[in-house]
Structure 1
Amino acid sequence: MRGSEPTAGRPRIERLWQSHLSLADVARWIPLAGASGIFRLGVSARRLYWQMMKRAAGVKTISVGNLTVGGNGKTPFTIFLASRLQSRGLKVGIVSRGYSRRRGGAAATLIADRGELLVTAEEAGDEPAMMAKSFSGPIAVARRRLDGIELLMRRGPLDAVILDDAFQHLRLERDVDLVLINSARGLGNGWMLPAGPMREPLGAIDRADAIVLIDAGGGESALSKSQMERIRALTVLHATIRARALVAIEHGAWREIPIALVGARVLAVSGLADPSGFYAMLRALEADLIGVLEYPDHHAYSASDWRAIVNALGEGDIVVTTEKDLVKLERFPFTRNSLYALRLEIEMAPAEAAALDELIVGRELQTSAAQS
């Protein structure tokens, strides 16, 4: 979808997930409520089944997930956490489902190690491929996370494995469950799909060892008073997600360069569930957004998409996209110095980071790291 100005950036159905709707929107929402009830029953039955069939991985397992669809900063936080543990001398791997990837016959695939992507972005999935550009440890993708963990452990001992987007992957036991909530997006109307953004009822949050509230610079929190009261009954940590650098492509490799977008005529291109935060960051960096091209989340870009992007740029200066889009766009012959990605990073105050370390590392991993 093309526009000369950024739009709300959310699928139409998401506009029915707000707490206050017009009478016309209420009429559209009511049929979704019935489907939501059926979905809730299915989720409950699935949870009961996997509580009985749950398996352990045999290694410290940390899940990074959420309760809602899209836009909570899971991938940047997974990179942040994996790199933080690695900097403490721990042997860390990441396992992801690799949503939207082109699957082969193997139950699990090693897609990256030592910062090198070993397969194509299509085979890895865009988010695992993106993580491989920033994290030097091993990364595996598998439909069953346990298969991915076993693949990594066959390659050598690990102190910890981080599961990307796995809060609902109940078949696997985990030692620490982290649930991320984007403060600006909140939890919508609190209803489950498709009548709301929730993957599970709010009560599922009690499984979490800690809630990480992500501030993406979106202003006031969208969480209701009752939602905040429920969240504050648990351990709550705070983190900020911000733009760190631009990523440029030089001789086939990615290189960070300082952000210098003041006054630059920028075409924003993204395949995100909710690109509004992306636009907000570009505006905060004082870029002149001459237009936007929005594609579906995890979009597989084609040659016709590339031509559309080049044509849309016109007399503009540069195209700025996201890292998970760049892994799929870098194969196209863009004019030199015309395509960049905005690299994001997670920041935590020292006290918050120390609390995260205490929750995750603990004495067991500290001892392991000291002996390795």
Structure 2
Amino acid sequence: MGTLEAAWYRGAVWLWLLRPLEWLYRILTALRRGAYGRGLIRAYRCDRPLVIVGNITVGGTGKTPVVIALVEALKQRGLRPGVVSRGYGATAHISAFPHQVSLSSNASDCGDEPLLIYRRTGVPVVVAPRRAEAIKALLANADIDVVISDDGLQHYAMARDLEIAVIDAERGLGNGFCLPAGPLREPKSRLKTVDRVIYRGGDVSDSSVTYQPQCWVNVSSGAMRPLDSFVDAATLAAIAGIGQPQQFFDTLTDLSIAAAQMVFPDHHDYSAEDFASLEGQTVLMTEKDAVKCASLAGDDAWFLRIDAVLPQSLIERVAELAQR
């Protein structure tokens, strides 16, 4: 966790010095949202239901596993979801968008999270910095019942039919301040206006999402091994380039796996040099990291497959929306 982010969550007193900037941020955010709400700026509305899975805090809260679980649940009901994303981390020139994610796509084309969603679900996924362009391309090239947006709660240029906010129950909203004095993208009162709030690691069944490890998958070959495969392994290195790397390391501890830990920035663009010091070791990583490391990590690198378990009532609500 970076120095500023750590200060947000421990409530550092010096952050009060940033409150004037926070109030400016709040004013600008309110003006922008109000302009869309009053129709002064026109939002794009597509002819399919649009569901946003987002959050109001900076950093990872587990949105992507929620999107994957929601898509898979809809597919099981015979529905045809499609996914759009901004494609954070993509390095392609703006002229390369919208990008239809395919088997030949890599993270530089579309970002690591859209690539992960496509590989896990197989549904149409389109990426563009302007999400309206992504939605148009998605609907032009696929027969879709419902559009799921991975993130975009604050992207008011995109009209929506259902908003789902994902909150980390343990970390909460930090000190409750907006950027830059705190981790909030919008004031916490914004949660009163979304349709559903679900809590990662919460203790109320109808508003909680849990994350269940399933197996280890070889990054190169796709071979699978059971969860206890590395309990007694001697030379293990665990790497994580995600929003909250400690959660991955804590999961390894829960699985009785002891490994040396290496932390990289969220959405890190891995290179061969990152793995140079790990030669001869078994490397464990997250699935989000793995989509960027197939040709880099070697034959003894494995990612932990994790499935999100959603409230049944949430799945039913989205399914009903898709069936209209």
TM-score for the superposition, normalised by structure 2: 0.91
Q: Distance in 1 between matches of 2:16 and 2:249?
A: 32
Aligned with 1:302 (options 252, 267, 271)? 271
CA shift at 1:30, angstroms? 2.7
Answering whether residue 206 of structure 2 is matched by residue 242 of structure 1, we say: no
Give the whole-Å Cα distance in 1 for the aligned partners of 2:294 and 2:85: 22
In structure 2, relative to structure 1, the CA distance for the partners of 1:94 and 1:256 (3 Å cut) is: farther
1:208-267 CA-to-partner distances (Å, cap 9, x unmatched) read 111111118xxxx8xxxxxxxxxx9xx96222112121121354xx34432123223421
Shift of 1:333: 5.6
Map of 1:224-303 to 2, 5 A cutoff?
Answer: 237-251=207-221, 254-260=222-228, 261-265=230-234, 266-289=236-259, 291-303=260-272
SS in 1 for 2:136: helix
1:67 counterpart residue number: 56
* Alignment check: 8 A CA contact 1:65 1:74 kept: yes
Partners in 2 of 1:333 and 1:164 — Cα distance?
27
Q: Which residue of 2 aligns with 1:178?
A: 164
Distance 1:255 1:45, change over 3 A: farther
Distance 2:86 2:142 in 1: 21
Q: Give the match for residue 365 of structure 1.
A: 322
Q: What's the secondary structure of 2:29's corresponding residue?
A: helix
From the superposition, tell whether residues 213 and 133 of structure 1 become closer, same or farther in structure 2 (CA, over 3 Å): same
Shift, 1:361, TM fit: 2.0
1:361 is paired with a residue of what secondary structure? helix
One-letter identity of the residue aligned with 1:26: V
User: What is the CA RMSD across the aligned residues, in angstroms?
Assistant: 2.1
SS at match of 1:47: helix
Distance 1:136 1:287 in 2: 31
Q: Residue 289 of structure 2 corresponds to which residue in structure 1? A: 325
CA distance in 2, matches of 1:237, 1:333: 37
Question: Is the counterpart of residue 86 in structure 1 residue 50 in structure 2?
Answer: no
The question of 1:150 aligning with 2:108 is answered no
Structure 1 residues without counterparts, runs of 5 or longer: 1-9, 222-231, 368-372
1:36 aligns with 2:25: no
Q: Is the 8 A contact 1:293 1:309 kept in 2?
A: no
Q: Which residue of the partner structure matches residue 309 of structure 2? A: 347
Q: CA deviation at 1:300?
A: 0.6
Aligned 8 A contact 1:97 1:145 in 2: yes
**Secondary structure, aligned partner of 2:252:** helix
Residues in 1 aligned to 2:240 and 2:316: alpha-carbon distance in whole angstroms: 36
- Cα distance in 2, alignment partners of residues 48 and 98 from structure 1: 26
Counterpart mapping for 1:27-176 below 5 A: 27=14, 29-51=15-37, 52=39, 53-104=42-93, 105-112=95-102, 117-176=103-162
Q: 1:333 to 1:238 in 2, by over 3 A?
A: closer
- Deviation, structure 1 residue 50: 2.7
For 2:319, the aligned partner's letter is V
Query: 1:365 and 1:333, CA in 2 relative to 1: closer, same or farther beyond 3 A?
Result: closer
Runs of 4+ in 1 over 4 A off after TM superposition: none
| Paired AA for residue 248 in structure 1 | N
Q: Is 2:145–2:323's contact at 8 Å kept on the other side of the alignment?
A: no
The aligned amino acid for 1:16 is: A
Q: Please state how far the C-alpha of 1:343 moved relative to its aligned partner.
A: 1.4
Does structure 1 retain, via aligned residues, the 8 Å contact 2:98–2:134? yes
> 1:170, 1:129 → 2: CA distance?
24
Q: How far has the Cα of 1:13 moved from its partner?
A: 0.9
The amino acid across from 2:268 in the alignment is H
Deviations 1:87-113 (A, max 9, x none): 11111111011101022314411013x
Percent identical:
32
1:365 maps to a residue whose letter is A
Cα displacement string for residues 166-218 of structure 1 (whole angstroms, at most 9, x for unaligned residues): 111111111111001111121111111121111100111122111111118xx
Provide closer, same or farther for how the CA distance between residues 120 and 302 of structure 1 changes in structure 2, counting only shifts above 3 A: same
The answer to whether the 8 Å contact 1:180/1:213 transfers is yes
Report the residue type matching 1:258 in the other structure. P
Structure 2 CA distance for aligned equivalents of residues 74 and 91 of structure 1: 20
Q: Which amino acid aligns with 2:57?
A: T
Q: Provide the rounded CA distance (Å) in 2 between the counterparts of 1:263 and 1:36.
A: 49
Letter in 1 for 2:87: G
How far residue 19 of structure 1 moved from its aligned partner, in angstroms, is 5.5
Report the CA distance between 1:45 and its aligned residue: 2.1
- Residue type matched to 1:189 in 2? N
Q: How many residues align?
A: 318
The 8 Å contact of residues 220 and 295 in structure 2, kept in 1 or not, is answered as no
With over 3 angstroms needed to count, the CA separation of the structure-2 counterparts of 1:255 and 1:131, relative to structure 1, is: farther
Aligned residue for 2:285, secondary structure, equals: strand
